[in-house]
Structure 1
Amino acid sequence: MIFHVEAYQQALPLKSVFRIARGAKTQADVVVVTLTADTDNAQLVGWAESVPYGRYNETVESVKQEINQFAQSLSAFDGDLAQLSDKIQALPGGSARNALDCAWWDLKAKSEQKSVADLLSLSTPSPCITAQTLSIDTPEAMAAAAKALGHPPLIKVKLDNQDIVPKMQAIHQASPESQFIVDANEGWSIHDLKACGDSLKALNVILIEQPLPADKDAELIDYSCPVPLCADESCHTRKELTYLKGRYDAVNIKLDKTGGLTEAHALAQEAQAMGFEIMLGCMVGSSLAMAPISLLSDCAKFVDLDGPLLIKTDRENGFDIEQGLMQPLNNALWGSPNSQIIL
């Protein structure tokens, strides 16, 4: 079987400036990959989207270069889909492998005339609650943004270590029936965490994501936080799970960290077996970037896949998200024999 790979850079403008503890941006810079198989009977094409992330020393250019080098290696490759998967899995984890792996799954669905959910023996996803995200701003601006969401069930709040409690008090007052996930993006100290834990619990905060830098996780040993803690930047693949035990209660699984759906699925299974709660997360991207990870929603306690709500224009056949309720993947987008590639 002959395979071809193409990588495309796309800039997706955001609805507004998106701020987290380590910076701000006005557009999502993504890489879209198409993976084509020339068979005796037809030409089949799978596709996927990844989001290069500077936190892991990735740029669009570096990810495209890695994908293009992989594409060049296929000139001497004459194998089947299973052998191609082995070749993809040999790449280092990250955005490049994510795009290739997820494009491979879309291609496999078309080759075998089965959905990816069926290929992985997953139940058909049900509608689920996804968090909707507030970026960092003043207490007043964040309260106004929370109110504008219309009191959704779950709000994710990006917070640095400035005015943690006053900001959450303002947000809680604006949306008192909502529950909250607070995401510090490694921006706090252990002192910050200890100082605000009880107050955050009283404000309907049900999870705190990555409060400390990834290299400071040892400070969480023997600390019993009033709010469960979730590892994000500290958890990429199954390799970190033993280290994270005793430090975190949950792990945030993101495709651009795991290097694709193959490892994400394995990570979810092993993390659950070890007693971790599962959170599904995303970088800021289109529905195409969310599609593969959404198939794992039935095993997750927390879902944070609102990336498409942050960009001005989503892809055709994207996710339907209303008042925090996320409908299952549209088979026309990705992961089925009928998915359509619309660049």
Structure 2
Amino acid sequence: MGQLKLTVATETLRLAQPFRIAGHVFESSDVIVVTLDDGTHQGRGEGGGVFFLGDDVPHMLAAVEAARGAIEIGASREELRAIMPPGGARNAVDCALWELEANRAGLPVWQLAGQATPRALRTTFTLGADAPEVMARGATGYAGAKAIKIKLTGELDLDVARVRAIRAARPDVWLGVDGNQGFTIADLPALVEAMVAERVSLIEQPLARGCEADLDGFVSPIPIAGDESLLSLADLDGAVGRFQVVNIKLDKCGGLTEGLLMAAKARELGLEVMVGNMVGTSLAMAPGFVLGQLCDVVDLDGPTFLAQDRQPSVTYAQGDIWAGPEVWGSGVPVAA
């Protein structure tokens, strides 16, 4: 690809309010932003890391520096998959390479990826765990949402009460729940039964990473998605017979290049595909939007939790997300 100048910056993204999942409360999120410059064109990428793996800013910075020499002499996106491990650092560099390549070619990223003209995508809007009545008010506040994802904590009775309250408040929407590893296999039959009663359409990562074999032989009328259990392409063969849906997050797998490979492999294995996100700005959502064109379930609401997003930004309307060409990967050179 030719000699490049790599710069990396760090940013702290403040959340508008604390956000709770099983075992963790977020008040801010630290990210890195990678810029690649060949003297004429630039490419940008944002990486948020993977908090449950300790993939934080110091770890991401170290990973970028370890690969700096190879990146600056022009490693390709495919070569990057061998040079850097999956994670937020590779995601930031990979996405920067995609945009740089698009700007050099004068073509949008979606076209480089061999896709049809993008369409707006129905996205879930996520409710952090709280008291049932608080979450019900939050669901009502998402007036334009057509799909809502509910964060659970592994407290079975309370979680069921949360879902019931939200379903009563929003009988019209698609509902999914995210266990974030909070349950055990012993909890699962009761959880599934309650979720069927509330017309829940997806149960995401109910069991802890490492307990995937507990799902062997478990039959659920609601599809179960793997998130923390399915980090990268290498994990997908092990998903068969345990999960029905693969949640691909670019920070987990290490970029759009691997994400597209995962989506194709998941289809080959007979699995459905979901795109998710860590907390991030519109610069992080836009590559996910490209992947989302191939997905059955889209969860790209990260910027809605921020006190302030990056500009230009993705837009949300009537329950859909749209990442316009001005956000990222347009094929039009980025101003220095």
Q: Is 2:167 aligned against 1:172?
A: yes
Question: Within 1, Cα distance between the matches of 2:183 and 2:29?
Answer: 25
1:79-118 correspondence to structure 2 within 5 Å? 79=74, 83-90=75-82, 91-118=84-111
C-alpha contact 1:277 1:300 (8 A) present in aligned 2: yes
> Cα deviation per residue 1:223-259 (whole Å; 9 max; x = unaligned)?
1112110000111222212111000110001001110
Partner of 1:47: 44
Question: Within 2, Cα distance between the matches of 1:321 and 1:21?
Answer: 27
> Cα deviation per residue 1:273-324 (whole Å; 9 max; x = unaligned)?
2111111100011111011121122321100000011111111121110242
Q: Match of 2:262, SS?
A: helix
Structure 1 residue 144 displacement after superposition: 1.2
Partner of 2:188: 193
Q: Is 2:117 aligned against 1:124?
A: yes
Partner of 1:184: 179
> Cα deviation per residue 1:88-146 (whole Å; 9 max; x = unaligned)?
22211111111001100000001111111111111122112100000011111111111
Question: Within 2, Cα distance between the matches of 1:323 and 1:133?
Answer: 15
Question: Within 2, Cα distance between the matches of 1:50 and 1:137?
Answer: 28
Q: Is 2:324 aligned against 1:330?
A: yes
**Letter paired with 2:100:** L
Q: Is 2:27 aligned against 1:30?
A: no
Question: Within 2, Cα distance between the matches of 1:332 and 1:165?
Answer: 42
Gaps of 5+ in 2: none
Q: Is 2:289 aligned against 1:294?
A: yes
Quote the sequence identity (%). Answer: 36
Aligned residues: 332
Of 58, 64, 67, the residue aligned with 1:67 is 64
Partner of 1:147: 140
Question: Within 2, Cα distance between the matches of 1:271 and 1:199?
Answer: 28
Structure 1 residue 13 displacement after superposition: 1.0
Question: Within 1, Cα distance between the matches of 2:314 and 2:333?
Answer: 14
C-alpha contact 2:132 2:166 (8 A) present in aligned 1: yes
Give the root-mean-square deviation of aligned CA atoms.
1.5
Moved over 6 A (4+): none
Structure 1 residue 72 displacement after superposition: 4.3
Partner of 2:267: 272
C-alpha contact 1:229 1:249 (8 A) present in aligned 2: yes
Partner of 1:246: 241
Partner of 1:223: 218
Q: Is 2:276 aligned against 1:281?
A: yes
C-alpha contact 1:33 1:48 (8 A) present in aligned 2: yes
With the length of structure 1 as denominator, give the TM-score of the two structures.
0.93
Question: Within 2, Cα distance between the matches of 1:207 and 1:339?
Answer: 40
C-alpha change, 1:200 and 1:341, in structure 2 (3 Å) is farther
